[in-house]
Chain A
């Protein structure tokens, strides 16, 4: 990556879900394609491929980005979290648990992008109100649910995360 000449094919090293990963990619390969095709992490879904639908959202250094609007080579040296990286072993992430409990999804296509967007929201704002949740997911299109159950699921996730945090605080005391 320290090459000073423009190249059509490059080596890229990215941390994905805590693991260092490498691949040789075409310059035009998107981060989403790197994840799906080279690293076989097909949980990241590609919908519109030009930044409108939000289904390819992943976390880049902790904040949500559209992985279709980023070249794989731009992720060099950065840290990426995909939907595969949300659960801790068999223990679901609060956003997964909350959305499961509230039946937040139907076809599941938008699910990964929404889960990661919600995870970043709760990280930044552990007690969001409904308006904050709606604002946070406003860039993620769902064609099934009408969003009500998704909003419910994310609000439930915030409760679960708080309960877990309280539980840990209790253990420590």
Chain B
């Protein structure tokens, strides 16, 4: 057994989970799919004394459509997001991103909620959450509260969720009329962590000019990055090739990626520009299809 010893509990209610977290103190961790936490523990980079498993809590495995939004329970897996027809209809970007997450066997266990709470800077979901203005619900000893993605991701593997709180649901707003979104990433081999990934979101006005836009990146720093300046730069302009190319390059220039064993900072910046251009182009095409329909 590679992890250090710990105690395990699997409450059957969210209240039970919070109670166990409060009881255990700062040294407890919530266990969802375990696909990030258990490897860290196997390498003894993490040594929680208590694991509180949310896998036995009723109702956390739901995917619901609420108005224009998709609400995803904390234990919904990446695999489910990739195949659920309601996800494809209401939040198609989630269905598009799911196959980029690791390999099939990991997607069968790992969860959207767990990935957001874990906040790996090379993971897909934090970047997608920032892009789509996702809101998570967390529950703690004093009740439930909502945290917007913009306020959630603090730094490397760190979020603003308190140690005695548990993420219970992820609300993904619909794109609205004349909206389109896209995601792409570059990795050395299928299923590896991406060197860089990017998502783009575009809304067009009645004349086909840009009403709003944003780009987000992963793999370029200690946490995912949202670039809203792209929106300001594109607003009111027709989203032609030249405009997209210009804002994509500018967005990449604003990043501060790192050198590591896998890629230099300069290479990452080039990938970011390419991916921003590609995803903006696709997002515009999708938004235009909405305008046409």
Residues of A whose CB lies within 8 Å of any CB of B are: 1-8, 10, 26-30, 33, 49-51, 54, 57, 60, 63-66, 68-71, 73-74, 76, 117, 135-136, 138-139
Contact = CB atoms under 8 A, between A and B. Distances in A.
16 contacts: A2-B12, A28-B3, A28-B6, A29-B1, A51-B106, A66-B105, A68-B38, A70-B34, A70-B109, A71-B51, A74-B10, A74-B31, A74-B55, A117-B104, A138-B189, A139-B106
B103 A139 contact: yes
B38 A69 contact: yes
A5 B9 contact: yes
B253 interface: no
Contact of B191 (A3, A29, A71, A138): A138
Interface residues of B, number: 40
Interface of B: 1-12, 16, 20, 23-24, 31, 34-35, 38-39, 41-43, 50-53, 55, 79, 102-106, 108-109, 189-191
Contacts of B39: 50-51, 69
Contacts of A5: 9
Nearest to B1: A28
Nearest to B189: A138
Contact of A50 (B42, B53, B79): B42
A29 B8 CA distance: 11
Contact of B7 (A7, A117, A139): A7
Contacts of B10: 1, 73-74, 76
A4 B1 contact: no
Contact of B108 (A29, A33, A65): A65
Contacts of A27: 5-8, 51
A73 B10 CA distance: 9
A71 B29 CA distance: 14
A136 B5 CA distance: 34
Contacts of A8: 5-8
Given A49-B2, A60-B109, A71-B51, 14 more contacts: A6-B51, A7-B7, A7-B8, A8-B7, A8-B8, A28-B4, A28-B41, A30-B1, A30-B38, A50-B39, A51-B38, A66-B105, A71-B38, A139-B105
B34 A74 contact: yes
Contacts of B42: 49-50, 68
B2 A54 contact: no
A53 B105 CA distance: 11
Nearest to A66: B105
Contacts of B105: 54, 57, 64-66, 117, 139
Nearest to A3: B9
B51 to A, nearest CB: 7
Identify which of B38, B41, B55, B104 gathers the most chain A CB atoms within 10 Å of its CB.
Answer: B104
Contact of A70 (B1, B16, B23, B38): B38
